[in-house]
Amino acid sequence: MSEKKDEHNELIAKEFSHQVDFFDQPGVNLCRRDIMEWIVDRLPLHPEMLVLDVASGTGILARGIARFVKKVTSLDYTEKMLEKGMSIARNEQLDNINFVQGDAESLPFKDSVFDLVTCRYAFHHFNEHSKKMNEMVRVCKDNSWVAVCDFVTEDPQLHEKYNFFERLRDPSHTYTLTSEKMQKIFIDSGLLIVRNESRDLSVEFETWFSMGSKADDMTAKNTIINALQEELNGGEKTGMRPYMKDGKLHFLQLIKIIVGKKH
């Protein structure tokens, strides 16, 4: 493992050890039932399927899938995430989920093992996205599927600015891909795109910012708030599309799900 890669993995482990208590909390966007149903409905699931969920966190998507398939392997780098996921799966009496610690860039599985490989809300934490995608494709069976759901940006002019604000809240954020770049990663890895859909997700600012490890950094917080308020007043755009609702500051994130077939 390179020093740079090792440092980023440890940053992710630190950040998500901090965030683990927010996962699976009612009302948090990470586990909203309607969003989960939207994702699961777009996956090619069948009862005999073996599924791998990469960078699974507490296994939110893995648990959503488990009811429809034979077995799900939930892989994450952060031990605390896996521990919480195992506890929740036991409480929900899901006995077909296997929790594994591992690195998305070097998946601890043989070639062509899984009928579906998924990854949700993790690509914006990855370095070298193509390496991770190639690993996902490697462990996927021929004529089976790889699915990624993540936040994207549509305006290339605002791409860097959007990512700057995300990093102020969460230092483990690398960059949110443009929609075009995410599609290119699928194509370059040899996958045939069979589904490509997007939707907006409304985010309440205070909840979003409090989840990051910089929750007590008022300078970072005020920098983002001031930029969002300036945009609301007709000023420079941030790429975050802010608006007010019930007296609270919100913004919109664009979620994209792409399903590719290995052929």
pLDDT (tens digit per residue) in 120-130:
999 998 988 99
Whether residue 255 has pLDDT greater than 60: yes
Would you state the pLDDT for residue 212?
79
pLDDT, residue 164, reads 95
pLDDT band at 12 (very low <50, low <70, confident <90, very high): low
**What's the pLDDT score for residue 16?**
56
- pLDDT recorded at residue 71: 98
pLDDT exceeds 90 at position 26: no
Average pLDDT over residues 211-230: 92
Query: Which domains, ranges and CATH numbers included, belong to the chain?
Result: 3-154+173-202+254-262 (3.40.50.150)
Arithmetic mean of pLDDT, 91-117:
96
The mean per-residue pLDDT over the stretch 67-83 comes to 94
Q: How confident is the model at residue 210 (pLDDT cuts 50, 70, 90)?
A: confident
Residue 7, judged by CB atoms within 10 A of its CB (0-12, 13-18, 19+), counts as: exposed
- The C-alpha atoms of residue 203 and residue 29 are separated, in whole angstroms, by 7
Give the pLDDT of residue 55. Answer: 95
Give percent of the chain with pLDDT exceeding 90.
Answer: 77
* Cα diameter, the chain: 54
105-121 per-position pLDDT tens digit: 999 999 999 999 999 99
Mean pLDDT of 91-99: 96
Do 116 and 58 form a contact (C-beta atoms < 8 A)? no
- Segment among 31-35, 94-98, 159-163, 198-202 with least mean pLDDT: 31-35
Q: Are strands 71-76 and 50-54 parallel, antiparallel or unpaired?
A: parallel
Give the CA distances from residue 122 to residues 77, 103, 126, 200, in Å, rounded to whole numbers and listed in that order. 11, 12, 7, 17
Helix (H) or strand (E) holding 50: strand 50-54
Phi then psi for residue 258, to 5 deg, are -125, 130
C-alpha span between 159 and 189 (Å, rounded): 23
The DSSP bridge pattern shows strands 140-153 and 248-262 to be antiparallel
Could you tell me the two tokens for 255? 């979620």
Predicted local confidence at residue 215, as pLDDT: 79
The distance from CA 213 to its chain's CA centroid, rounded to whole angstroms, is 17
Give the tokens for residue 95.
């006995």
At 74, the pLDDT band (50, 70, 90 cuts) reads: very high
Task: Answer whether 50's CB lies under 8 Å from 66's CB.
Answer: no
Q: Are 124 and 166 in contact (CB under 8 A)?
A: yes
Which band of pLDDT confidence, cut at 50, 70 and 90, is reported for residue 1?
Answer: very low
Residue 233 has pLDDT above 70, yes or no: yes
Provide the 3-class DSSP secondary structure of residue 11: helix
pLDDT of residue 8: 64
Q: Residue 142: is its pLDDT beyond 50?
A: yes
Tell me which amino acid residue 175 is. Answer: Y
d(CA 236, CA 221): 18
Give 13's Cβ-side CA count (13 Å radius): 15
The size of the chain, in residues, is: 263
Indicate if the pLDDT at residue 6 is higher than 90.
no
